[in-house]
Chain A
Amino acid sequence: MRTTTRLATAMTAVGALTLTACGGSGFDDDTSTEDAAGRSISVLIGSSGDAETAAVTAAVDAWSAESGVDATVNVASDLSQQLSQGFAGGSPADVFYLTNDTVATYASNGSLDAYVDGLANVDDFYPNVLDSFTYDSEVYAAPKDFSTLALIINTDLWAAAGLTDADVPTTWDELETVAAALTTDTTVGLAISPEFARVGAFFAQNGGWLVDEDGTPAADSPENVEALTYVKDLMAAGSLKYATDVGAGWGGEAFGTGAAAMTIEGNWITGALTNDYPDVAYTVAELPAGPAGKGTIQFNGGWGVAADSPSKDDATALVEYLTQPEQQLGFSEAFGVMPAVLSAADTWKTDNPDLAPFLEGADYARSIPSVVGISDVVEDLNAQLQALSSGDPQTILDSTQQNLEAIVP
């Protein structure tokens, strides 16, 4: 194993050197169409639907027309499987979607090119989004978009329970009060998906997280135990339920069907509500602050470039084009994601005033640590969280701590 890591580092270094070598010519140089003849790159995306596929294809085609390089967009049916197959077979797609929780896995075996530092617009990305794509102090993906969690409130049920705008919860106590007030025989106050990617927001609000600032495992910290106990208490009081326990696949479904008056979800919920439950009136609020202040979780999407790609220059140029503010705002309009570049933030907020709480979250959001094997640990934590109502917070977090200690170098 250790040999592999060293090897991976070596390969990364080689990759970085290659990139520096290319840096001389620069990506901005206009490559004339004749030079580009016969060159081609492939793009692999995991699409949320036709809107996303169409928008990405249009953007890539526009770049293709401008640069003269042929580019094809393929939609993966199972992105991680197809990426793994590409890397193993030695012929991966040149440019592809990556999420922050998979970066460590692919970077550790040298499959990814650490090209991001060479981008002209590297300073425009949200720093904490860039951080989440960092493995071994190299950045492996240029942020494409990101999402944060916020509190989604059903305004009709809210009014029916006699609550007003002034009651929107800003603390844990207030959340407890409104969740109880909203709970009826047929509706639960708050329903969330049974996973760390939701429950973990409470950890962050209490100053805890899976790891501390130095990256040392800290899952069993008193802050985390307290946060998980708070969630468990809400559950015992009947004002918080898992979406699966009210017959829904995820928080958005529980919210849309009216089984829950509030849910904690990311900005992707807006698309789902528009499509599937257009009659539900809702408002978005920042998650209530815990004892240690505000906290939420962010999920980041980025563009990866394969280390084995024969056309890394073209790939990098494409990514640079796709991460410009105009493109990011275009994607946002087409399929509702939040731009990951600072220069587009203000425009986005003006265009989407109702969704601003999602973007506010970027200032204090935490993301899943970028460590090899983290998905197994989170998966195991999820499994235990599903039995939280009969489980013991301390025991759950102790076992997660053990699992984390086994993978953090």
Chain B
Amino acid sequence: MTTTQDRPQTRTPRPRKSRTHGREAAAGWLFISPMLVLLGLFLVVPVLMAAWVSVSDWSGRGSPFSSDVSFVGTDNYSALLSEPGLAQSDFGRALRNNGYYVLFVIPLQTAVSLFLAVMVNRRILRGRGFFRTAFYFPSVTSSVAITVIFLFLFSTTGAVNKALSWLGVNGPSWFSDPGGIIHVALRGLGVDTPPAALAEHGLLGNSWWDWLSGPSPAMSVFIIMAVFTTSGTFMLLYVSALQNIQGEIEEAGIMDGANGWQRFRSITLPMLKPTTFTVLTLGLIGTWQVFDQIYVGTQGGPAKTTLTPAYLSYTSSFQNNQWGRGAAIAFVLFAIIVTMTIVQRILLRERTAVPRRRRFYPDGKDER
């Protein structure tokens, strides 16, 4: 940190420095001003407007800033979070559905993309370019097109059920069966009616039994689809990170007698941690905002098992004219995403602190 070489530069005579820097600063502001204006106009202002709408009773006619619109405090938020009713139970259901989506998609897509990256990064693999392109391809295809293809593949009489029938499995009607997979599994084990403790108590207008339903077959299709489409993108991130790991480190591991799995576990994986953080964060944001698949594919059905907060926010606003509620949903969703990102950051940061005594290099040198 405290290298002597840097010092002289910071000690340059004051007037000259400030003049140069002043001019540089002005030029800097000038250069970024178009972007600032654009961001402000199309991002900051709309977000502030939405924040106002979420605490107002704007009914969707005319400007939300006209004198007819009044401040209603946290009414819209309490309709979602504390007052029993349809708004609350719908929101609870949307959170549940999206929660399962996040829970399944993130670990799966991270694992699959890492696996693919390690595979296509191998020097012995022939036609690496082909595989990279093939795996990345779903990511560049429009999600609407892929959704439509998946709707065909997973229709009751579609290709997937045909393939399952060859294996003697009677596939579900993916897009019309409202039962959650955990419920179905429990039913298979003979648990047909919920235990009273789970059925009578609940959160956000849904009983604990409802919360524990698991994703419905339709949501499971979206989960598979998300893994299919996004792991290519994240594979690229991992590939570029893997290429930054120098061969010497790997060789050192071999010299120490570590086998392939040990080298992956103790060398490659820790060195990929910054990339993993990026992948997890992007995954978290993307999965909580799932919208287009739902809009094109199921519109929240069957039996509201693919309703998500983002889609609910859209329907509340544009179809039911509950603009305040729609905006409130968006802000609760925002809070969820921010909180989860911070939590995840804290968790990952703690693990990166390698105990001092285990550092390979003496203090000071490792930062070079």
Residues of A that sit less than 8 Å from B by CB: 1, 3-4, 7-8, 80-81, 84-85, 87-88, 90, 105-106, 108-111, 194, 242, 244-247, 308, 373, 375-377, 379-380, 382-384, 386-387, 403, 406
Contacts of B157 in A (CB 8 A): 247
Please give the distance in Å from A284's CB to the nearest CB on chain B: 26
Chain A, residue nearest B62 (CB): A90
Chain A: interface secondary structure? helix
Chain B: interface secondary structure? loop
Contacts of B57 in A (CB 8 A): 1, 3-4
Q: Is the CB of A387 within 8 A of B303?
A: yes
**Complex Cα spacing A125 to B58, Å:** 34
Please give the distance in Å from B221's CB to the nearest CB on chain A: 14
Candidate in A87, A90, A244 with the most chain B CB atoms within 10 angstroms? A244
Please give the distance in Å from A57's CB to the nearest CB on chain B: 26
Given contacts A84-B317, A106-B321, A247 and B70 within 8 Å (CB-CB): no
Candidate in B68, B72, B317 with the most chain A CB atoms within 10 angstroms? B68
Contacts of A81 in B (CB 8 A): 318-319
Q: Is the CB of B155 within 8 A of A376?
A: no
Please give the distance in Å from B183's CB to the nearest CB on chain A: 10
Please give the distance in Å from A29's CB to the nearest CB on chain B: 31
Q: A111-B61, A403-B86 are in contact. List 11 more A-B contacts (CB 8 A).
A: A3-B68, A4-B57, A7-B68, A80-B319, A84-B318, A105-B320, A106-B321, A247-B157, A375-B319, A386-B302, A403-B85
Given contacts A373-B320, A406-B85, A247 and B303 within 8 Å (CB-CB): no
Q: Is the CB of A375 within 8 A of B320?
A: yes
The yes or no answer to B175 lying at the interface (CB within 8 A) is yes
Q: Is the CB of B302 within 8 A of A88?
A: no
Contact residues, B90-125 vs A (CB, 8 A): 90
Given contacts A7-B68, A109-B321, A383 and B303 within 8 Å (CB-CB): yes
The yes or no answer to B156 lying at the interface (CB within 8 A) is yes
The yes or no answer to B63 lying at the interface (CB within 8 A) is yes
Please tell me the size bucket of the interface on B.
20 to 34
Contacts of A247 in B (CB 8 A): 155-157, 173
Q: Is the CB of B304 within 8 A of A245?
A: no
Please give the distance in Å from B148's CB to the nearest CB on chain A: 13
Please give the distance in Å from B164's CB to the nearest CB on chain A: 14
5 closest residue pairs by CB, A with B: A244-B176, A247-B156, A109-B59, A383-B303, A247-B157
Contacts of B72 in A (CB 8 A): 1
The yes or no answer to B60 lying at the interface (CB within 8 A) is yes
The yes or no answer to B178 lying at the interface (CB within 8 A) is yes
Chain A, residue nearest B307 (CB): A383
Please give the distance in Å from A97's CB to the nearest CB on chain B: 15
**Complex Cα spacing A109 to B317, Å:** 13
Please give the distance in Å from A5's CB to the nearest CB on chain B: 9
**Complex Cα spacing A241 to B70, Å:** 49
Q: Is the CB of A87 within 8 A of B303?
A: no
**Complex Cα spacing A8 to B155, Å:** 45
**Complex Cα spacing A159 to B18, Å:** 96
Q: Is the CB of A4 within 8 A of B59?
A: yes
Contacts of B61 in A (CB 8 A): 87-88, 90, 109-111, 308
Q: Is the CB of A105 within 8 A of B303?
A: no
Q: Is the CB of B62 within 8 A of A377?
A: no
Given contacts A244-B175, A245-B173, A8 and B317 within 8 Å (CB-CB): no
**Complex Cα spacing A376 to B336, Å:** 25
Q: Is the CB of A90 within 8 A of B70?
A: no
The yes or no answer to B301 lying at the interface (CB within 8 A) is yes
Name 19 interchain pairs, CB-CB below 8 A, sorted by A.
A1-B72, A80-B318, A84-B317, A84-B321, A87-B61, A88-B62, A88-B323, A109-B59, A109-B60, A110-B59, A244-B173, A245-B156, A247-B155, A247-B157, A247-B173, A308-B61, A376-B86, A379-B304, A403-B86
**Complex Cα spacing A4 to B72, Å:** 12
**Complex Cα spacing A108 to B321, Å:** 10
Please give the distance in Å from B349's CB to the nearest CB on chain A: 42
Contacts of B301 in A (CB 8 A): 382-383, 386
Please give the distance in Å from A383's CB to the nearest CB on chain B: 4
